[in-house]
A and B are shown apart, each in its own frame.
Chain A
Amino acid sequence: MQFSGRGCESCAESTRESTLTNTHDDSETLRGFQPIGQFKRPPMPTDESLRRVGWRLWRRLRGNPASDPFIAAESLSLANAKQLDKLAAPPACGPLLDELTTTFADWLATAEPAHWVQLVVLPPCDQSDVLRSWAVANKHSIVEPPERMSLLCRKACEIELDGSQSLLVLPRIEHWFLRHHLGLNQLQQLLNQLVEIKQHCIVGCNSWAWSYLSKAMQTQLVLPSPLTFEAFDKDRLRNWLTDLSTSDDHSSTFRFAKSGTKIFDEQAIPRATEDYFAKLAARSLGIPWVAWHQWRRSLKISSEADHKIEERFPHERTVWVADLAEVGIPSDNMQVGLLMLQSLLIHDRLTAAELAATVPDIQCSNVLAALLDAEIVYRDGHELRCDPAAYPAVRASLLAAGFPGDPL
């Protein structure tokens, strides 16, 4: 079947119907990507919404009310990175790599497609670099963005699109320094080339960058039908994270820190587990890498000296699943902070110098330090990135402050 931009709905539908062998039931049918307009974030359960409002009110009136969990929070500590990698192994993109293959299989098989260029729009904070990973795994040609600092030095950056018949992948055009007049000029040259290209080409872009480019360059006219994955609801998340947990050789048992009950039960799905993953799906906005990071943040281990727990659950290596942590955005001088976060979302990653070139008045503020301290922003080498686990809170703050949002 020919896969074209305008015909992608039928393609997405047909790919949804194609079932691949999987360890789970029919809910685990391999899905295809869909138009971004069909992205539906999982709803927050009503009781959870009420609970959050009530909790905030109660906390404001009473301070910190005492709770009675199965295991005290003081007895738990965060698992280290090595342990976490065993409990929830990377990459954080779930089955999306397979879904990309499914989505574009027919289009790639077409010698003369109606649209040579396809656009994939993904939510931000994608540390796994889904599209690049897929391109590398399938040995497709990757077009790398020019160095951002070379743009600032006004060095000419030639964009070379090879004329071969192989698939070209531009994994993340947000890395092209969008919010700089020289960066936009460079990107305009790229778009001009893409309009005339006669070669299969997939362009990747995050949703914040896409929203910005649609305004700044009317990119939606050149790349009219962006595709994205189907939001991860509670069932998809549970199945995926169950798979990740069972890949641990040590056969850890995951238990709720609040009640001590098992979260993954072989016999049936407990109500508490249903609720937990419904909350996780809603809080992560249906984005797998955000859910993966939030899940890892909630995994705790008890201290070595806790014999009571060992007596209660002998011959078991227990991993405690704490309540999902609320991420708070610092409230002081946050106008500059929000401008920084918006810039980081649009560009995915920026050095301090590049950030200063896109956001005014940050040199004299200590907001960056506050954001780093609150684990909303983190350093990845010499670059700054927004933490995926904090993305829903960042997004909510930006939208509440009136910033232009993203389509996902």
Chain B
Amino acid sequence: MALETKQEQSTSQGPSDRLDERYVIAFGEPLAALRSPFAEAVAVTDEKGHGESLFALVCRRDMSFRLGTLKAIEAIEDANLLNVAAHGVVKRSESEGERYVIVLERPAGKRVVSGSDPTFRPFPEKTVLKTFLPALLKGLAALHERAVTHRALRPDNLFFDDADCQGIRLGECVTTPPGMFQPAVYEPIERATAVPAGRGVGTPACDYFALGVTLLALLTGRVPASHIEPEQMIRGRLEIGSFKTLTSGCQISSNAAELLQGLLCDVPEKRWGHEQVHLWLVGRRVAVPTGTRSTLAYQPFTFKSQGYLNRRALAEALAADGKEASRAIRDKRFLRWLERSLNDPAAAQAAASVLRGVKGFTGRKRMKDEELVGNLCLILDPEGPIRYRNIRATPDGMGPLLAEAMAEGPESAIEDVIYMLSSSLPVRAVDTKTEDDKKPASSMALFLRLRGYLRDPSRGFGPERCLYELNSGLPCQSPLVVKSCPMNAEGVLRALDAAPPKDAKGTDPVDPHIAAFIASGLSFTEERTIFNFSRSAGGLRKQRTAELGLLAALQQKTKVGPLCNLSRWLAARLQPVQESLRNRKSRRELGARVDALAAKGDLLGMLRLVGNESIFRQDNQGYREALIERNTIRATRHSLEEEGEHRWNLALEYGRQIGVGLAYLGLFASLSTLLISRMS
């Protein structure tokens, strides 16, 4: 059956060019002033609205966006935020497929600072502290109440709320991974050294740090520390603290300095939050935090001819040169330095345990030098990012980091992230973090699970599974469906149904991405039930039946309705199942029944049919009997054809015996006749 000639519209409804049947997305009308780094902005018309001004952000298909955050904030109506009106998948065009679109309230004014300007006109302190700060504080509070962070707070992501540039609103925070487009200076020191994609969701304290830097930038008219090299800025922050480094050379009032000192504190627990800033705003006295967490050593540890007193700075230096670092940390002087100079016997003990090759986390006898260094860096700087080769990432930033690596490569970057995930580093990082202690158990369980997935070569596991487990807002990246931007199993089924391939027989509808994407959305029990196929041994018949089983189970679970094109695709894939029947009549009948069910789009019916083992058992039994019968016939025929000589001898013998019999019969007849005639 030529599948391509039989394609038809399924009865199930796919995405249209309208969102929620009211928002018309004008993809042809870009709004450059409102675009986000990963999302273009376009105009929106609300057909059922009352003149509200809206715009839409069109998300990228190959990068994760913050779907969880989006769902958490969609109900918020706050005057200090760009409130979400709607979101979902919308058809852009036939050729370009579907995209995830977020419809937001359109700010009345322009951006507070243009993204391209390194310097700008400073705002008066009164405006910043009395107008901007309260608005930002309320906006952040509204987000934090719903347990989500903004992680994109910077001057170029603020909008004036009116044409007079009086009010201010926080820009969107959902189209890009958290913190990815924040310059390092806006990140607290424990995340500032992480690569942009790996900065993680963070905590409200991260937003308050960014608030402090944003206020400082607005007050001074430039990005703080923009006049010094980034490495120098990081080193300065590590050694003398963020507040001193960032405000160095800035003309700010003592009043503002007090606020900034509270917000730019390098110890997250001591950093000012909503309560302290609110009290400060109303004129109450609030204790200003001082110092950094990193205690200095009495004596420096010399690494590559440079002495380090600060443990965080040393961790950074060690991670920068893994080979040299692995030699340095194996030296007994390192442990002695930790114990005596740094006065941290616990760290010394943990480091000694790692160096002894304790298998507490990895279960492996040896770990790579880079992993060893990474572990030691986490002991030195428990709040810092995981440091592995060139990668610096927080545990909650691993998802976007993997998504970025898989979307943009190179292969070595993917390998590094995969190795990092399969190593002991994420689990140790979660275990040692004091900042992310809200759900350490679930995070640890997640990373332990991911390590299991990476070890499993079956479909539904591997790196792809990690990708979707860590990025709930990433559409399925399978080349078969990515154009349709499926965000869940139902979307995948619709996408598969909408665009069956030309080579239906040779195209696997459950490729590694689809399998992993579907599995990541299932509960443990569902996964065990539905995904058993990936581990099932057996020939092509069992594999194809299992494929069908997975998709049929999903069709039933999602209640997506008939899937005619996908059913035909799978019917074509089921040819090996039909061919596994030896009886030609049964095969034809099975094929006809599969085709009839495929025409109805009934995957479950098809599964019940081809999954019925008794058909195959009967066929097998019949085949064995037929084979025996045919072989017996052949042997008999052969013996009958080959035994000519023997047969002639046999015929000769029989013929003679018949002759003898007839002769005696003749004698008997002759005697009888004679006797009867004589007697009569």
Do these two chains really belong together in a complex?
Answer: no
**Chain A interface (Cβ < 8 Å from any Cβ of B):** none
**Chain B interface (Cβ < 8 Å from any Cβ of A):** none
